[in-house]
Amino acid sequence: MARVAAVQMASGPNVSANLLEAARLIGMATDEGADLIVLPENFAMIGMSETDKIELKEQAGDGPIQDFLSQQAVKQGVWLVGGTLPLVTENENKIRAASLLFDDKGQQQARYDKIHLFDVSLNEGQDNYEESLTIEPGDEVVVVDTPFGKLGLGVCYDLRFPELFRCMLDRGVEILVLPSAFTAITGRAHWEVLVRARAIENLCYVIAAAQGGYHVNGRETHGDSMVVDPWGVVLDRLQGGSGVVSVEIDREKLVSTRRAFPAISHRKLSCKM
């Protein structure tokens, strides 16, 4: 048995304030006994414009946000998924939206760069998003061994692309982590359905940590952070406001569910990615 936690917050343009809030919520999750904690997408900053993140970019392995994550993991004695943060690319006008996993010794154990970028128009064209203007997509599926099981890393818009998670399944994934910042519009329509679907079809746990609330730039994110079990049951959730979702997960339950309901072994197609 292990206890996992999803952090929910509403980040703004002040990095220091966001890190203080993240530290408070990480501490809250630790007080509840969490062994693995997941922060939401863009936990360190949601700026006034999409280009603000470029000014915040860090070299891989070196920078104050990465230092914060490493130090928090050591201080609290937990494994920590650092939502996403901006890392440099060869294109100085773009960043990689990287999700980093740190172990309880403060060592980075995995990096996943967001593959699917949110280029959409909502609300009859009143809300436009074009992540590809500032983000360079990743191209690597990441599944890593942890004390809690095989952990697959995805981010937000990735949730809509089940083939990514099938590729993870081919690599033995048991727990999906999904730092996110779903919009209020898309979240109300699709968030819970998609999170539960990924758990059901892959017979795995899903830890979905979301931005939730109103942001200084006028944006509203959906929230509803949750942990879902391999049968699609929502074990706990936080629909609004800042806080923590914390539950125990049982790898033996996952194994027995897959054994009793062997849909995975019935697959006819496999991922070639």
Given the residues 21, 53, 114, 131, the one annotated as active site: 114
Nearest to 226 by CA among 23, 8, 26: 8
**Do 84 and 98 contact (CB within 8 A), yes or no?**
yes
Of residues 21, 57, 94, 156, which has the active-site annotation? 156
The label of the residue with tokens 């414009």 reads 49
Q: Is residue 181 classed exposed, middle or buried when 0-12, 13-18 and 19+ CB atoms within 10 A define those classes?
A: buried
Residue 41 falls in the annotated catalytic set: yes
Cα gap 262→234, rounded to integer Å: 21
User: Would strands 127-130 and 119-122 be described as parallel, antiparallel, or unpaired?
Assistant: antiparallel
What confidence tens digit (pLDDT) does each residue in 194-240 have? 999 999 999 999 999 999 999 999 999 999 999 999 999 999 999 99
Residue 50: pLDDT above 80? yes
- Write out pLDDT tens, residues 120-169: 988 766 678 899 999 999 999 999 999 999 999 999 999 999 999 999 99
Choice among 41, 58, 131, 136 that is catalytic: 41
**CATH number of the domain located at residue range(s) 2-266 in this protein:** 3.60.110.10
Provide CB contacts within 8 A for 236, sequence distance 6+.
226, 227, 245, 246, 247
- Is the pLDDT at 48 greater than 80? The verdict is yes
Active site residue 131: no
Q: Which of 248, 200, 192 is nearest to 1 (CA)?
A: 248
Tokens of 199: 């758990």
- For the cut 70, the answer to whether the pLDDT of residue 35 exceeds it is yes
DSSP code for 210: E
* 190 CB neighbour count, 10 Å cutoff: 15
pTM of the complete model: 0.97
CA angle 191, 1, 165 (to 5 degrees): 35
Note whether 114 and 137 are within 8 A (CB). yes
Active site residue 156: yes
